[in-house]
Structure 1
Amino acid sequence: MVNASRVQITVLRGREHERREIRDLLATRAGGALLLHGEPGAGRTALLAYAHRHADGRTLLAGTGVPDEAPLPYAGLQRLLDPVLDRAAALPERQRQVLRRALAGEGCPEADRLALSMAVLGLLAAVTRDRPLLCTMDDVDLGDTPTARTVAFVARRLRHLPVTLLLTAGSDIGAAGIPHRRLLPLDDHDSHALLADRRPGPRPPAPVLAALATIADGNPQALVDLADTLTPGQWHGQEPLPSAPPPDGGLARAYRSLLARLPGDTRCVLLLAALAADAAPGTLARAPGSTGGTPVPVEAATLAGAVRAVGNSVAALTPVEAAGLVRVDPQGDVIFPRPLARSMVQATASLAERRAAHLLLAGALDASGHRLRRALHRAAAADGPDPALAVELERAAASGEDGWDTAATALSRAADLSDDPVRAATRRVTAARYAWSAGQPDRARALLSALPSAPAAPADLLAAPPAASAAAAVTGGADLLRGEMQLRCGPPAVALPTLMAAATALAGTDRTTALVALVRAGEAICFSGDQYRYAEVARRVAALRRDGDPPPAELMTALVAGVAATLRGEHGQGGPLLRRAVVLGGRLTNAVVSPTALTGAAVAGLLVAVDAAAHRLADRAVDLARSRGELSVLPRAFELRAMAEYWLGRHDAAVESCRDGLRVARATGQHTCAGVHLGLLAVLAAVRADRAACLRQVAEIGDTAAPDSRPYALAQWALAVLDLVDGRYADAADRLTALARPGTGRGQVLVQVMATPHLVEAAVHVGRHAQARAALAVFDRWAGSTASPSRRALSARCHALLAPRGSVEAEEQFRTALRLHPADAATFERARTELLFGRDLRRSRRPRDARDHLHRARQTFTLLGAQVWAEQATTELRAAGESVGAPDRPAEQLLTGQQLRIAHLVASGATNREVATQMFLSTRTVDHHLRNIFHRLGIRSRTELARVLG
């Protein structure tokens, strides 16, 4: 018997609800019980230790279920009660005798079980005469069954005794009538905190913390094992991380102990299920936002075939299904609810057991229908080089039909099985490319880090040019991939020398891939704000150009040459080249096109202001990347689609594209792309005068964006628009002027050109007409080279602002702008022009003429939900002598014709899919319109919509 006292409380991350329940139980004078259950390593024992530290003078009895004593009835009960058996004298004689016989190993007849249980309850009551009691039993399910049954009986009858009974087990089986709580995985925040607690000192980079949290799957013991075994290089992100917790850690020991108690046929079938899950289609991360916590299914037919080969059946999994390690659905599919359990089943098996299981699974798979999965199982059982199997893996993985992550595994294993160093290095680079396509940059970096410093090649290159070419191709391919990941995931300026080196290495062996490297180098230049360096990229692309190039190569050369001319301000030369790139992109069929080619054509379309074509190309790139599972391309494709939607005036759609792009960028570690999406979201929020949303996005960008970088420029543009809304015109002009430095080729020239209408408006208000005219001259040279009415409308509006207030020139330019604004798009910019024109007329003492423009502006802003701008129009109307109240109009006036028809169909009970079919629209388009309908009507549900429409 131990008298518990308060001790220093150690940190226990997460488990707030469980700790609160324990404290509440200990705080009450009445009795109560709680069963904590969960997977191995979930922290059950740590919570019992937490209870011990908070016992506050209670008598403490603590026991543990011991697997070695499981065959001995009441062995666990004897160990638990031994400190207080001297109190048994207070029990009735029969109860005392039954208790003594049971604890002495003489057993307990069925007829005496109730008497024994009542004796234990009475013994605990006797102990509480001095002080309240805390009784804990860890791993109650691992010890002998009679003890577990007796303790459960007692746990249900503590209401009137000052006894707190805490139990832990792997599952809640046998816990009927006992309050219980399952220990869920820790969230990312608590996982990161636990890792930092375990390794004091500087925290590792955020990607390392995120990767470790994913590997551990929220399991506290897995996190501890990882933190204790990582090298300093791994901890600081300089070396590849392991793919699973260590096989000799605490979690692995717990799983070995658990599995050792299972029947042999159960262990065999469980290992087969765990290994079959590696190649199951359901394990592939084909969609944005998927995580390592997704349940892992095992194809029933494959597993059943392998199980039959050893004379077992899936029914052998009943014990582990009862323990919660797996689920078997009615179709026979085996599902691992926690992927970590699958990993530990594999890790704790012997090499011989794993090889035998892989061979059984390979034999159960059809060679034609499951070519890659069959080859992967054969490769996992191989011992030593096997060139023929390596070729089979390479060919089977090429299509990517089983997912790029599975293809990466196949090529990595093919490299291990290769007997030619250069061939092995080539396959490893391809594996890294596949991993990157799957959105796994850390895995791709780990594969590249396994390459030798220089692939083996003959010293005499002239004597063996094929070997030299192969070595150069490996080096160039590896540098291209490194540079692309640096561009998307880190500071773009770091990527430039890597990409230029890749182009050099590839120029003599693979001209098309060398062009890809140079296109990426150009992106790095534009993202980092060093446009003056683009000329070198253009020169090298021109040197690689050949007459009769295939369309993808011609598209890239036209794009780079067009961008270079545009950055020089030579729009007459650059425009035709960029339009040619747009045309080529539109002609490419899905059989030969890549999402990368489509994004290049979309860039060209935005630069020559063919917004609808740019949107089609970017949208096609999104759909193609999704269908092929190429997650690495999606953030860039979403960015370009959002930009096209911005220019088309579809601000709500642009926000959705940015949110989708941001989600994928974060899930795939593309921090640069995430910053761009945050910047675009900030601009979109600022344009709509949504201050809170804008500042939130800018704060998320924080100090991670370098000055002159694209995210930094977008953030500054957004803040400048807020300055403009609030009347801080000088601040707005200063921010926008600082975005780029014309004549030096530094800064974000393209962002500054896009922001020119805001710059001119701000500069004019503070009398900086020269500054405004200089910026407008650059904008006019670009807008004038396009056929875009919307760009010319913005130019005319800027010229109107620069003209003397109330002058004929100002009025003509405003009317030109209104004539050029497309009637079916960019309605927000038309409303802004109406507001500025009405303000100019009102200040020129023409209030009657101003009112029509201000009314139209107010109406449009109200329809678009741009409340701040609507209020500005209202203020101007009142200044013009109009008495204006809050808008209160029926839905017919607030919705467009198409929106009104959709609203009536939905209100009548039609689903989004039914509306899409009836109106010949996509379901996504209907979803988009319905969100806008809810926003404009100020409602949140279909029920409210039906009520509004009567």
Structure 2
Amino acid sequence: MVTAFRVQITGLRGRDDECREIRRLLDDHAGGALLLHGEPGSGRSALLAYAHRHAGTRLTLAGAGLTDEAALPYAGLQRLLDPLLGRADALPHRQRAVLHRALAGHGCPTDQRLVLAMAVLGLLTDAARDRPLLCTVDDVDSGDRPTAQTLAFVARRVGHLPVALLLTAADDTTVAGIPAHRLRPLDEPDSLALLADHHGGPVPAAVAAALTGVAAGNPQALVDLAGTLTEGQWRGEEPLPAAPPPDGALARAYRSRLARLPRATRRALLLAALIDEDGDPVTLARAARAAGSSVAALAPAEAAGLVRVDTSGVTFPPPLARLMVAVTAPPAERRAAHRLLAGALDGTGRRLRRALHLAAAADGPDPKLAAELEQAATHGEGGWSVASVALCRAAELGDDPVRAADRLVTAARYAWWGGRPDQARRLLHALPADPAVVGRATLLRGELELRCDAPSEAVATLLAGADVIAGTDRAAAVVGLVRAGEAICFSGDQYRYAEVARRVTALRRPGDPPETVLLTTLVAGVAATLRGDHERGGPFLRRAVVLGDRLTGSALSPTALTGAAVAGLLVAVDAAAHRLADRAVALARARGELSTLSRALELRAVAEYWLGRHEAATATSREGLRVARATGQHPAAGVHLGMLAVLAAVRADREASLRHVAGIGDTAPAGSRPHALAQWALAVLDLVDGRYADAAARLAALARPGTGRGQVLVQVMATPHLVEAAAHLGRRAEAGAALAVFDRWASSTASPSRRALSARCHALLAERGSVAAEREFRAALRWHPADDVSFERARTELLLGRELRRSRRPRDARAHLHRARQTFTLLGADVWAEQATAELRAAGESVGPPDRPAARLLTGQQLRIAHLVAEGATNREIAARMFLSTRTVDHHLRNIFHRLGIRSRTELARVLA
């Protein structure tokens, strides 16, 4: 018996399905065959070892296809069958003679191959008479082709025999007539578990994210990487490898695979691996010509499944193939390939890519090339992550330590902009303690703490960084202080904001640039608002909104626009806040600044909430959550989950709301914004279910007025729900105190929606059936936009209808309840529609369950557009009202017509009537 397992991994994480298939094959005494195929390092050999461990009483044979014997016909078959050759005498004479001849190295004529295959099948059958047989062959495609053909013949014919035949092959290999199972990359949980197995315990999140990103789900890559790490690297204190080690098991497997290709193919493959990720075909063709070859030389690599070549360029289907081709190449060949690619980029305008290839070919300091890299990286050509790599290389090639430190800080900033906080942290950790860069580095550390780690700890870091840099770069210091203020508000320590405001005031100067003026104005407004001084804060905040609208050109940045959007939300100019946040989103995307995108999306979602565009807010928060998770911004992810929980709770979608709250879990500290949003969502669900005491207790605990602690702004947003819960409990004094805070804010704005909510709250606190209650309810309806499909207006109609019914005025109540029911139905808010229906029945109306065909067929935004069309609005008017383009409205309207099976606006009005 021969065993040969070249690529071993420890454990079988993520291979449950494959193990199940193997056990099924072994448990089936009737026999059968299975082919496992996947990229090198995917765990094929480990699965064969698993099969041998679970073979039980089966007789086992094991072989492997060896590259060194690929030119020797039947060499693999000889090694596999050697333990059984003593049984060959039982075969018919002709079969025995052909078998001995082939295994002795004399080959097999074409007309006798069937006889040979039958001989092999007969030999296995004879062995299986004593006890069932397990036969495994690893890398069957790597050995000699006649062996593979013979085994394929046998595999198709063992179904009726007690013979289990298990084969493995490369990713692209299949065999007709044999069941196959492809080994897919490990998912994130299994990758993390495999790393923990090798580390002997949990791995720091930043380290795990970096390693799993490099390994791309390949188990052997993870094992090889884990085997090279120092203790400092495991702790995240030292730079981590960017590729699996060149002397690891995975690299050896790839070298073996590449060795089977012609030399010209390997050269072309290396060029393709070192070129841009998009596989630019023009540059590759130029470099290949300069090497005396052509892209056509890649044909054998394509046949082997390593690359895919088409008119758009060259791609590497196996996730790690591109990286491993580069890693396994000899250094001299790799440098030569980089020089060829740099030459191919001459005169193309791709300055950064050319400089990067030259830098990769350099084998010593080169200050001139370092300066070229730095200049080319300035505008983020090819993305900020690429620019970060360029600056790191520039720091290595330069000969000035101070300049190198400066380049590393900028490289860390670029890595963060590109959504790679772990890389930014590693660069900052490796930074020398140079006074020239300590301020910038500290501010960046504080920003990373704010966005990715612990906002409460970011405050001290940002304040310290601003102090250091204030004398040399006041604008950067102001930005740092604004972020310190944001960290304070996120953590629920608003009483500390006064210190930020004091420091910002000290930094203001006449003639400051527009962005600095905007941010200092914002801080002054926020500080006054948090003190409850809306008369002083309002003008500052409104000015910040105006300044944000005026920002253009070089003064335009996502940070300034999000600051202006915050100001807009605080003075309740929701349309302006949405416009500014949307501009910040667009700008962050256009510049590739992923680090600022999540915050911009958060503010846009809040603006959409206040505009009554709940479905749009949900979509925005979902996108923000995806961005936050992809860029390691865990606190921001908690905020987006909190907004999604609130939006679902307001629409009484209990399952979705609780799922989002569970997503926040216990990772959000008490008093933080995600925790407050989760409590708000749970309170709304309590309110829906009639648990008024629970709802009031949750909302009252969001902040402690007068102390500056807790989430004051979230509590203000949630005040209408707090008042409603307290009113049901008869706690008018408690609700009145919260409403007084809300009123001071609402009265300082010009927002009809805030005035409507204030009036509704006063109606709920008035004596039931009183003139004052009805007066306030009707005032609320006047403030609500009358021509809008508004969720809050429908809630007011429902509450007024309920008030009138309970005051024994059922006839007056019905009109309000009908309108509430209709709006809830259009918006798809089923639970609220059912409550309106129940109130109508209690008011003596005979109504069935809500009729909601449109709500089942259309999205919320489509329903709103449909309602406006039915009222006679033009597409241009709808676009202006919903802050959409006319093209978007046209697109939605076509979809509405298609879904409802109608052809005209007249039919639409009839459907919605």
With the shorter chain as reference, the TM-score category is over 0.9
When residues 191 and 811 of structure 1 are mapped into structure 2, their CA distance, relative to the original with a 3 A threshold, is: same
When residues 602 and 933 of structure 1 are mapped into structure 2, their CA distance, relative to the original with a 3 A threshold, is: farther
Identity of aligned residues (%): 74
Q: Secondary structure at the match of 2:105?
A: coil
Distance 2:220 2:192 in 1: 13
Distance 2:498 2:889 in 1: 41
Deviation at 1:43, TM superposition (A): 0.8
Distance 2:465 2:898 in 1: 51
When residues 364 and 102 of structure 1 are mapped into structure 2, their CA distance, relative to the original with a 3 A threshold, is: same
| Corresponding residue of 1:400 | 380
Distance 2:859 2:236 in 1: 53
Give the aligned residue type for 1:866: A
Distance 1:118 1:728 in 2: 78
Distance 2:124 2:572 in 1: 83
Distance 1:585 1:730 in 2: 43
Deviation at 1:313, TM superposition (A): 1.8
Q: Secondary structure at the match of 2:364?
A: coil
Deviation at 1:646, TM superposition (A): 0.4
Deviation at 1:239, TM superposition (A): 4.1
Where do 1:137-286 residues align within 5 Å? 137-173=137-173, 175-201=175-201, 203-276=202-275, 280=276, 283=277
Distance 1:892 1:123 in 2: 69
Give the aligned residue type for 2:389: T
Give the aligned residue type for 1:125: T
Distance 2:496 2:897 in 1: 47
For 1:158-210, what per-residue CA distance to the aligned partner results, in whole angstroms no more than 9, with x for missing partners?
Answer: 24433221111214547233332222112222222222333333x12444434
Check whether the contact 1:204–1:237 (CA below 8 A) recurs between aligned residues.
Answer: no
Check whether the contact 1:171–1:323 (CA below 8 A) recurs between aligned residues.
Answer: no
Deviation at 1:452, TM superposition (A): 0.5
Equivalent in 268, 273, 282 of residue 301 of structure 1: 282
Please tell me whether residue 322 in structure 1 is matched to residue 303 in structure 2: yes
Q: Secondary structure at the match of 2:203?
A: coil
For 1:554-604, what per-residue CA distance to the aligned partner results, in whole angstroms no more than 9, with x for missing partners?
Answer: 111110111011111111111111111101111112553111111111000
Stretch moving more, 535-544 or 347-356: 347-356
| Corresponding residue of 1:349 | 329
| Corresponding residue of 2:905 | none
When residues 322 and 740 of structure 1 are mapped into structure 2, their CA distance, relative to the original with a 3 A threshold, is: same
Where do 1:17-32 residues align within 5 Å? 17-32=17-32
Stretch moving more, 653-662 or 262-271: 262-271
Give the aligned residue type for 2:219: P
For 1:592-633, what per-residue CA distance to the aligned partner results, in whole angstroms no more than 9, with x for missing partners?
Answer: 311111111100000000000000111111111112111111
For 1:3-51, what per-residue CA distance to the aligned partner results, in whole angstroms no more than 9, with x for missing partners?
Answer: 9xxxxx9952223332233223223343422222211111111111122
Give the aligned residue type for 2:786: A
| Corresponding residue of 1:820 | 783
| Corresponding residue of 1:415 | 395
| Corresponding residue of 1:491 | 454
Equivalent in 281, 284, 293 of residue 312 of structure 1: 293
Q: Secondary structure at the match of 2:555?
A: coil
Deviation at 1:752, TM superposition (A): 0.8
Deviation at 1:230, TM superposition (A): 2.6
Distance 2:891 2:71 in 1: 62
Check whether the contact 2:455–2:488 (CA below 8 A) recurs between aligned residues.
Answer: yes
Deviation at 1:360, TM superposition (A): 0.8
Show structure 1 runs of 5+ residues with no match. 4-8, 284-296, 456-470, 907-911, 940-944
Give the aligned residue type for 2:149: R
Distance 1:934 1:654 in 2: 25
Distance 2:215 2:894 in 1: 40
Distance 1:658 1:499 in 2: 27
Check whether the contact 2:837–2:850 (CA below 8 A) recurs between aligned residues.
Answer: no
| Corresponding residue of 1:460 | none
| Corresponding residue of 1:87 | 87
Q: Secondary structure at the match of 2:707?
A: coil
Give the aligned residue type for 1:300: P
Equivalent in 783, 800, 806 of residue 843 of structure 1: 806
Please tell me whether residue 46 in structure 1 is matched to residue 17 in structure 2: no
Distance 1:445 1:889 in 2: 52
When residues 896 and 258 of structure 1 are mapped into structure 2, their CA distance, relative to the original with a 3 A threshold, is: closer
Please tell me whether residue 649 in structure 1 is matched to residue 612 in structure 2: yes
Please tell me whether residue 691 in structure 1 is matched to residue 672 in structure 2: no
Distance 1:767 1:809 in 2: 17
Distance 2:838 2:43 in 1: 62
Distance 2:727 2:894 in 1: 40
Stretch moving more, 886-895 or 257-266: 886-895
Give the aligned residue type for 1:809: A
When residues 824 and 523 of structure 1 are mapped into structure 2, their CA distance, relative to the original with a 3 A threshold, is: farther
Check whether the contact 1:256–1:348 (CA below 8 A) recurs between aligned residues.
Answer: yes
Give the aligned residue type for 2:197: D
| Corresponding residue of 2:113 | 113
When residues 505 and 334 of structure 1 are mapped into structure 2, their CA distance, relative to the original with a 3 A threshold, is: same
Deviation at 1:106, TM superposition (A): 2.5
Where do 1:430-579 residues align within 5 Å? 430-455=410-435, 471=436, 474-579=437-542
Give the aligned residue type for 1:228: G
When residues 223 and 895 of structure 1 are mapped into structure 2, their CA distance, relative to the original with a 3 A threshold, is: closer
Check whether the contact 1:205–1:237 (CA below 8 A) recurs between aligned residues.
Answer: yes
| Corresponding residue of 2:721 | 758
Where do 1:310-389 residues align within 5 Å? 310-331=291-312, 333-389=313-369
Distance 1:892 1:55 in 2: 58
Show structure 2 runs of 5+ residues with no match. 4-8, 870-874, 903-907
What is the alpha-carbon root mean square deviation over aligned residues?
2.9
Where do 1:902-913 residues align within 5 Å? none
Distance 1:399 1:335 in 2: 27
Where do 1:935-950 residues align within 5 Å? none
- TM-score w.r.t. the length of structure 2 is 0.93
For 1:257-293, what per-residue CA distance to the aligned partner results, in whole angstroms no more than 9, with x for missing partners?
Answer: 22233322222111111111xxx2xx4xxxxxxxxxx
When residues 258 and 385 of structure 1 are mapped into structure 2, their CA distance, relative to the original with a 3 A threshold, is: same
Distance 2:447 2:351 in 1: 31
Distance 2:284 2:203 in 1: 40
Q: Secondary structure at the match of 1:703?
A: coil
When residues 855 and 895 of structure 1 are mapped into structure 2, their CA distance, relative to the original with a 3 A threshold, is: farther
Deviation at 1:353, TM superposition (A): 1.7
When residues 826 and 743 of structure 1 are mapped into structure 2, their CA distance, relative to the original with a 3 A threshold, is: farther
| Corresponding residue of 1:458 | none
When residues 47 and 889 of structure 1 are mapped into structure 2, their CA distance, relative to the original with a 3 A threshold, is: closer
Distance 2:897 2:236 in 1: 47
Stretch moving more, 26-35 or 415-424: 26-35
Q: Secondary structure at the match of 2:60?
A: strand
Give the aligned residue type for 1:593: L
Deviation at 1:902, TM superposition (A): 7.5
Equivalent in 582, 593, 598 of residue 545 of structure 2: 582
